[in-house]
Amino acid sequence: MHLLPTEEEVVRVLRDTGALRDGHFEYPSGMHSNEYLQVPLAMRYYQHAKMLSVGLSRLLRANAEIRALIPELSIVAPATGGLPVAYGVCEALRARQVYWAEQDGEGKAMRFRQYLEQHPGEPVVLVDDLLRSGKKLSAMRELLESRGASVLGLAVIIYQPTPKTRDFGPLPLYYLAKLEASYYSDGAHCELCRRAAPIEKVWV
């Protein structure tokens, strides 16, 4: 395995571990899709987790601004799903620290553990397993910036854009593979519903 896996290698790992599934899925937002991805299923296996996070760390290291700040760099995950990736990236880069945010419930504000404070200008890379809606990553970025940190980039294993994905403007975005599924705003507009394909509800 090379240090930077190809998109095909990444997708093969996702399929082999059951992380990437074809079918007919309904998201909690009501959106329907022909594809579903649950990266933690691939991150269960140490060798895959290592390959994916080392690959992502190499993309980050290629950014001169980020590379120069590695000894000071914080790797921050917006939720626990991003933690295996965040620790893998931090270890591969030899960055300073890893931490994460939590939410008390759906729709509640994100927060850090008590006594966890950012220092002014703290350089941060946001890391997660997946960028789909970008809702949590964008809330995380706002929270960090409001506390004086400086967000330098965004790194995810998989970029799976939907028509509703947030725009992060000029913030550098790194990913190992991009997946283009078909999305339908609801059942009434869904091609798969029209064909009466059996549907599965997904909860993340």
C-alpha of 132 from chain center: 8
Q: Per CB under 5 A, does 193 bind Zn ion?
A: yes
Q: Per CB under 5 A, does 31 bind Zn ion?
A: no
Give the residue with the Cβ less far from Zn ion, 51 or 190. 190
Q: Per CB under 5 A, does 58 bind Zn ion?
A: no
Q: Per CB under 5 A, does 181 bind Zn ion?
A: no
CB distance 184 to 32 below 8 Å = yes
CA distances from 2 to 5, 123, 183 (A): 6, 29, 33
Distance CA 45, CA 48 (A): 6
Quick one: which of 13, 19, 32, 39 contacts Zn ion (CB under 5 A)? 32
CB distance 61 to 182 below 8 Å = no
161, β-bridge pairs: none
Q: Per CB under 5 A, does 130 bind Zn ion?
A: no
The stretch near Zn ion (CB under 5 A) out of 1-9, 99-107, 121-129, 191-199 is 191-199
The footprint of Zn ion (CB under 5 A) covers 32, 190, 192-193
